[in-house]
Structure 1
Amino acid sequence: MKRSLIPLNLTNGEYLVEINGIQHWVKIEGSEQETTPLVILHGGPGGNHYVFERTAGPLLSKSRTLVYYEQRGCGRSGFPVSENDYSIELLVKDFIEIMKWLKVERVDLLGYSFGGELALEIAYAHPESINEIILSGPSLMDLDIHKVVQIAGFLTVANSLFAVKGLEILGVEELYKRVWELASTEMVDALLFENQEIARKNRQWWEESKLRNTGLLAKGLQTNPVTTPLVSRLKGICNPVLIITGIFDRNTGIPVSKIIHGNLPDSRMVTFDRSAHFPDLEETDKFVEVINGFLIKRVSNINPAEGHQIQ
């Protein structure tokens, strides 16, 4: 197993760490493994790690040193004073300060959904700080195709009346907004999960956590967009990247993952046959096995039985 090139002095536990004037929730697990830290980046924007801590996280920590943190204004972390203090640039700055607090020089990244997009932004801005990257159902929020995938996903799981109401509105932005307004809890679960028993368990965890997505981070990222779209910068990210995508992902989906895959210089894409947007919940054991295989062997020796590998 690959070990860090520098001594690690990490202690398991939960911490509140002041980063750029904001209290960030940080959790370290599996420090006894003494591996290069694998930093977990949650989705949303505006989500948290509560569910991941109870599914794939404990399994990964049996072989990896994990570092969780929740982004500014998310989960158990604090909120900025101003609603304008949300941007990709600030999220990247927060991350680098967390690395300084950890006293590590390089880390691996595992980002799911929006966390995958953030992982790529971090690697683009600070390639010297990142080793391998894993993306699970990554987003590309500045592309209309991302919105189109979600619209199409809702229409495939909705009744005909929903489809008629949604299609009465023209324009991707307005249609995208309206689709989410019309969607019921059951439809959101059907969008995100293929197995509805797991969807119900996920929702139970959401309720149990008492953590809510305020929408402020998503709004802030729209108000303060990146200057140059990420998709046009992907060729500048040379880290080895593993992309994990469920074949039933109706939220970001195979189209978005293939765009990312096709533009990165060094990436592999593995599809999961029984998953939608969250392979970490729907195929947890396989998810962990594929990630461990990638981090140890850099994907080249992934067993085809673990998923369909796309070169």
Structure 2
Amino acid sequence: MNLLVVLLVVVALVWPWAAVPAARRLAGLLPPKAAALTLAGSAVLLAGSTVWALGGLVAGGLLHLQLLAEDGGVAKSWAADGSPVTLAVAGAGLAVLLVVLGLMVRLWRRQRALLERTWRTVEGQPDAADLVVVPGGAPDAFALPGHRGRPGRIVVTAGMLRGLDAPARDVLLAHERAHLAGRHHLLARTVQLASAAHPAVRALAPELSFQLERWADEDAAAAVGDRKLAATAVARAALAASSAQRRPSLLPAIGTGPVPRRVGALLGPAPGLPRGRGLRAAAGALLAVVALSSVLSSGSAYGLHEYVERVQEIVGR
């Protein structure tokens, strides 16, 4: 296998460490919805380029094994000369791919198990439309995604409802409904699964969680028509829920993330698409990094194509 191709693949596997800071920087300049979609899209692209690069190494190794299985001839002799390095590299690529697959399957099972356990805890509780009220308990509220044909629900404890006045409850319910309507849990699941392909992607999860909460905050503020009221309600609900257990990202909760930053943003003007050199620089950096990552990972496919042509040339002699 061409040494240059191996080096390109290695660089492709290292490059996401540079792409992640660029994606986070750009997300900080965008409105919450655009920021969340940018983070999720970046995670998918970086994970995909990693798997593509590793797959190219494995495909080259399989072709090499096919040549070694030939009954003598120039092709087999040529392949045997480079077997140790080629097969070692392909074997390493296969091992990493199997680890990635195993991690993704385990994460996917954990995600489903979490939803199933949470749905079991709310079965039999008072249910009105999309709202499930859990009697008693510490103040808590979160969005429970739909599962196995059941539509999503807003789960709120009676303790949380008692601690808020009617306007604040309206903000709370609008916030959690925004999570369900925007299917925010799917974006969280996507980034979590993508992190199995490359550890650098994990750094996108906290920023995504923050942007999803900001997205729901803005939707709630728009629903009640009062940004100051929304900010006050978010602060009160988050403070009340501070004693509740920390919710996984698949169960978005109003008390998630750096609440002071969220409240400060709500006290300011509604976010819009910014302009200026900072945005252009961050967007350009992200596009360049992601594009280069894709080009580098494609080096394995190009190398495999050259490898096939080389084999055909030797066999044709």
Tell me the TM-score range normalised by the shorter chain.
under 0.3
Comparing both structures, which one devotes a greater share of its residues to strand?
A: 1
Return the TM-score normalized by structure 2: 0.25
Q: Which has the bigger relative contact order, CA under 8 A and spacing at least 6?
A: 2
Return the TM-score normalized by structure 1: 0.25
Comparing both structures, which one devotes a greater share of its residues to helix?
A: 2
